[in-house]
Amino acid sequence: MIDKRNISDDFLEMLFLLRHRIFRHISIPLPINQFVVLCILTDEGSMTFSEIGKRLSIIKQQLSPIINKLEENNLVKRLPDSKDRRRIKIQMTPKGRKFITEHQNKIKAHLETNLSVLSEKEIEEFGKSLKTLMKLFGKISLS
Per-residue model confidence as pLDDT tens digits over 61-77:
889 999 999 999 999 99
Per-residue pLDDT of 27-66, as tens digits, reads: 778 888 898 899 899 988 899 988 999 888 888 888 999 9
Alpha carbon distance 47, 67 (integer Å):
12
> How is domain 30-137 classified at the CATH fold level?
Arc Repressor Mutant, subunit A (1.10.10)
Residues 88 and 80 sit within 8 Å (Cβ to Cβ):
yes
DSSP 115: G
Residue 40, Cβ density class (10 Å: 0-12 exposed, 13-18 middle, ≥19 buried): middle
User: What is the reported pLDDT for 138?
Assistant: 82
Alpha carbon distance 30, 76 (integer Å):
13
**What are the boundaries of each domain within the chain?**
30-137
Alpha carbon distance 119, 115 (integer Å):
8
